Structure 1
């Protein structure tokens, strides 16, 4: 389609001249990647498993420390119980001797 300029009969404007030239497509050599839900799920599972493993390792270490503390406390309790039993036994023997006299 062309337009005639009313002031100058010799000049004709082509419609193509009114639009900027289109750029040629630039070839894209990068490989096209699509979203792969299976791969994404696999990666997320790996990340979650890694975090879970870290948490479990941390929890296990804390549990070991607590168990060690509990074990020490239990050992002290057993020792105190043995001493208490010995004191009770000695007290009973002493009471028996007092009753005899």
Structure 2
């Protein structure tokens, strides 16, 4: 009979330990999910910031091309663009 009681007490102790571990892991999982969500939001914000910076960089690059190097280079680029537009118009008319 005492062996049965000891087995029951041992089983109760193991169940209590399992329940404690379950609650601990459940709380830890919630914390990790919150952290994951927070990091995902930060990643999205950083991606938006990068996209905005890329647009600003491209705009600055275009402005530097038009304003910067020399009027000769700018005229050549504009003429190249005009020729490409003319080719497109000719293809559309055909």
Report the TM-score, using the length of structure 1 for normalisation.
Answer: 0.60
Note if 1:90 corresponds to 2:59: yes
Relative to total residues, which structure has the larger helix share, 1 or 2? 2
Aligned to 1:42: 11
Q: May I ask how many residue pairs the two structures share in their alignment?
A: 69
CA RMSD of aligned residues (A): 1.7
Query: Which ranges in structure 1 are unaligned for 5 or more consecutive residues?
Result: 1-32
Q: Could you tell me how far apart the structure 1 residues matched to 2:70 and 2:59 are?
A: 16
- Give me the TM-score of the superposition, normalised by structure 2: 0.64
Question: Could you tell me which of 49, 68, 74 is aligned with 1:80?
Answer: 49
Q: Is 1:51 aligned to residue 51 of structure 2?
A: no
The structure with more strand, counted as a fraction of residues: 1
